[in-house]
Amino acid sequence: MTEELDPVIHAPARLRVVATLATLAKGDEVAFPRLRKLLDMTAGNLSTHLRKLEDAGYVQVTKTHEGRVPATYLALTDRGRAAFAEYQTALTNLLKGAGHD
């Protein structure tokens, strides 16, 4: 039985987003500008990928204000953490099986 790699996570940019968010402790979040800087992505590109991850229920996006300035915070949901763990397992199994034939 071959495990499928989650196509939502598998896109390189989204994989980088999820992997980065997975390094945060459960319940922690990161500000959008910080994540953008860490990943060296444009705001528009990061927003597009975050929307797909949010639609899948993998990322929680919290929009608030700090004073009069809008602020966006991001966190991996429990569903996102589980999906990333399954992705890692599937990828590991795929790589282990690649040498056997």
Stated pTM of the model: 0.90
pLDDT in tens, the chain (101 residues): 457 899 999 999 999 999 999 999 999 999 999 999 999 999 999 999 999 999 999 999 999 999 999 999 999 999 999 999 999 999 999 998 866 55
Q: How would CATH label the architecture of 7-88?
A: Orthogonal Bundle (1.10)
Question: CB under 8 Å to 53, separation ≥6 — which residues?
Answer: 8, 14, 17, 18, 59, 80
In the chain, where does DSSP find H-type helix? 7-10, 12-22, 32-39, 43-55, 78-98
Residue ranges per domain, the chain? 7-88
